[in-house]
């Protein structure tokens, strides 16, 4: 069934979108190899002063938490498909795997997209969740679109008003009695809003999607892991550990592990509109669907399991990267994990680490300051030999 109606699929994915179409996405420059087997490296292009980039990297690594380690453990910058800057905290390097936290939600979204590409799932048909299958169950109307937008209306949001994290629903889901059956716990909740009308951030919703991926691509843990490797990881040259819960379902909302360079490959996939070296990984229209605001009155900066650099709605995080265009979109995770795509600059920026002595506002501001150093539409550098030590490294 693959590619039978790609244009129709693209049109139906981005329904209810804002009148302003998403910014165009850049293509891979000629002469720059896809980094499936490793990143070609080059020098940053179009900077007024290379020392300003070094100073911006210094600022990202200034904040120190426990043990005197910088909170930022890794930064990778990809410009025009080339690795142009890279730095690690002491004890970390390009082989170190970093925890995704909620960046795994975007990985799960990509896996759903591949199943949509192949005709095995449909965004606007009823979500295949057995717990909602009774004719009289109001949850029966929930679709994959509701799940991807986090507009299900289910009472499974991460945190209620004034609720401490350790006593929140997400705390029980990830570390309490629900951790062995995350999707089941998330699905077994009543509706508190009409589907599609109210946005609420929900790790449990991503776990429901993880179970749908497992049951559709598998079923079962081993078959699903093999499918993920074949259809997503291997084509991009990514090595990633994706965790499953005790019931054998893909966790979906957290717990993926990969190197900074491999997280950058995921960012490049989205910046390249879901294509990779002549192959369609994500269906046509999927990236635009990802970076279009979910249609809910209280949503300002969330797309389809992707954060957008827009003004927030009520109770949402502030604009992630102040001073940068609204076209910027990103996967983020607890502790300040970022995979940022900047279409106008053909830039992917990865920041990984902790937030023991810093904050979202501080890291977001520092990343925005660094990204602003790169010009719009800068020409790609000619690929060079691998640079040792990595570009931007400090002894």
The residue-averaged pLDDT of 13-27 equals 73
Q: With contact defined as beta carbons under 8 Å apart, do 121 and 115 qualify?
A: yes
Q: Is 210 exposed, middle or buried (0-12, 13-18, 19+ CB in 10 A)?
A: buried
The answer as to whether 385 is a domain residue is no
Collapsing DSSP to helix, strand or coil, 63 comes out as coil
Nearest to 347 by CA among 25, 31, 52, 102: 25
What was the pLDDT predicted at 395?
A: 31
The answer as to whether 194 is a domain residue is yes
pLDDT of 384 higher than 50? yes
- C-alpha to C-alpha distance for 129 and 345, rounded to whole angstroms: 41
What was the pLDDT predicted at 393?
A: 47
For the segment 359-375, what is each residue's pLDDT rounded down to a tens digit? 999 999 999 999 999 99
Q: What is the mean pLDDT of the chain?
A: 91
Q: Give the pair of three-digit tokens for residue 12.
A: 């139906």
Q: With contact defined as beta carbons under 8 Å apart, do 340 and 321 qualify?
A: yes
What would you report as the CA-atom Rg of the chain, rounded to the nearest whole angstrom?
Answer: 20
CB atoms within 10 A of CB 352: 29
CATH number of the domain to which 219 belongs:
3.40.710.10
Collapsing DSSP to helix, strand or coil, 150 comes out as coil
- C-alpha to C-alpha distance for 215 and 112, rounded to whole angstroms: 12
Q: With contact defined as beta carbons under 8 Å apart, do 245 and 179 qualify?
A: yes
149 half-sphere exposure, CB direction, 13 A CA radius: 30
The answer as to whether 393 is a domain residue is no
Q: With contact defined as beta carbons under 8 Å apart, do 349 and 75 qualify?
A: yes
Backbone angles phi, psi at 338, to 5 degrees: -135, 135
Tokens 């951790």, residue located:
179
Q: With contact defined as beta carbons under 8 Å apart, do 210 and 252 qualify?
A: yes
For the segment 128-176, what is each residue's pLDDT rounded down to a tens digit? 999 999 999 999 999 999 999 999 999 999 875 444 555 677 777 777 7
For the segment 237-278, what is each residue's pLDDT rounded down to a tens digit? 999 999 999 999 999 999 999 999 999 999 999 999 999 999
Give the N- to C-terminal CA distance of the chain in Å, as an integer. 53
The answer as to whether 381 is a domain residue is no
The answer as to whether 174 is a domain residue is yes
Nearest to 202 by CA among 174, 243, 244: 174
- C-alpha to C-alpha distance for 232 and 117, rounded to whole angstroms: 12
Length of the chain: 395
The answer as to whether 226 is a domain residue is yes
The answer as to whether 390 is a domain residue is no
Q: Give the pair of three-digit tokens for residue 368.
A: 């925005």
- C-alpha to C-alpha distance for 192 and 160, rounded to whole angstroms: 13
Q: With contact defined as beta carbons under 8 Å apart, do 249 and 213 qualify?
A: no
- C-alpha to C-alpha distance for 377 and 123, rounded to whole angstroms: 34
- Structurally, the chain folds into a number of domains equal to 1
Collapsing DSSP to helix, strand or coil, 371 comes out as helix
pLDDT of 387 higher than 90? no
- C-alpha to C-alpha distance for 216 and 219, rounded to whole angstroms: 6
Question: Distance between alpha carbon 251 and the CA centroid of its chain, in Å?
Answer: 15
Strands of the chain (E only): list them. Answer: 72-79, 82-88, 97-99, 241-242, 256-259, 275-276, 279-280, 307-308, 329-333, 337-342, 347-353
205 half-sphere exposure, CB direction, 13 A CA radius: 28
pLDDT category, 394, cuts 50, 70, 90?
very low
257 half-sphere exposure, CB direction, 13 A CA radius: 7
The answer as to whether 214 is a domain residue is yes
pLDDT of 199 higher than 50? yes
Q: Give the pair of three-digit tokens for residue 389.
A: 């030590």
The pTM for the full model equals: 0.92
Nearest to 189 by CA among 126, 108, 131, 246: 131
Nearest to 229 by CA among 272, 121, 218: 218
Q: What range does the domain containing 341 cover?
A: 6-16+24-372
For the segment 285-308, what is each residue's pLDDT rounded down to a tens digit? 999 999 999 999 999 999 999 999
């Amino acid at each position: 069934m693959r590619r039978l109606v790609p244009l129709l699929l693209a049109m139906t994915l981005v329904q209810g979108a804002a009148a302003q179409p998403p910014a165009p996405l850049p293509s891979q420059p000629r002469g720059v190899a896809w980094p499936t087997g490793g990143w070609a490296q080059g020098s940053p292009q179009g900077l007024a002063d290379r020392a300003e980039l070094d100073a911006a990297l210094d600022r990202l690594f200034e904040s120190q938490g426990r043990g005197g380690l910088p909170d930022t453990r890794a930064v990778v910058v990809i410009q025009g498909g080339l690795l142009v800057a890279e730095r690690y905290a002491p004890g970390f390097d390009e082989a170190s795997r970093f925890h995704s936290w909620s960046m795994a939600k975007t990985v799960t979204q990509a896996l759903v997209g591949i199943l949509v590409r192949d005709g095995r799932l449909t965004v606007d048909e009823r979500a295949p969740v057995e717990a909602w299958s009774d004719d009289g169950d109001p949850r029966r109307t929930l679709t994959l679109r509701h799940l991807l937008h986090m507009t299900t209306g289910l009472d499974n949001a991460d945190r209620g008003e004034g609720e401490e994290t350790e006593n929140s629903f997400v705390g029980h889901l990830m570390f309490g009695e629900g951790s062995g059956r995350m999707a089941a716990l998330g699905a077994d909740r009543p509706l508190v809003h009409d589907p599609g009308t109210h946005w609420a951030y929900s790790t449990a919703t991503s776990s429901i999607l993880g179970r749908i991926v497992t049951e559709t691509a598998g079923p079962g843990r081993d078959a699903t892991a093999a499918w993920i490797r074949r259809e997503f990881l291997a084509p991009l040259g990514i090595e990633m550990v994706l965790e499953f819960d005790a019931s054998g379902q893909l966790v979906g909302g957290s717990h993926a592990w990969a190197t900074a360079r491999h997280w950058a490959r995921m960012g490049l996939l989205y910046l390249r509109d879901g294509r990779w070296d002549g192959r369609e990984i994500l269906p046509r229209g999927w990236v635009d669907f990802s970076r279009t605001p979910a249609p809910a009155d209280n949503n300002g900066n969330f797309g389809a399991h992707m954060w957008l650099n827009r003004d927030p709605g009520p109770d949402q995080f502030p604009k992630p990267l102040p001073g940068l265009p609204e076209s910027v979109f990103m996967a983020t995770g607890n502790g300040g994990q970022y995979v940022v795509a900047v279409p106008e600059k053909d830039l992917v920026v990865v920041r990984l680490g902790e937030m023991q002595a810093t904050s979202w506002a501080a890291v977001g501001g520092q990343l925005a300051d660094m990204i602003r150093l790169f010009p719009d539409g800068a020409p790609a550098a000619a690929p060079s030999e691998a640079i040792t030590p990595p570009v931007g490294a400090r002894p």
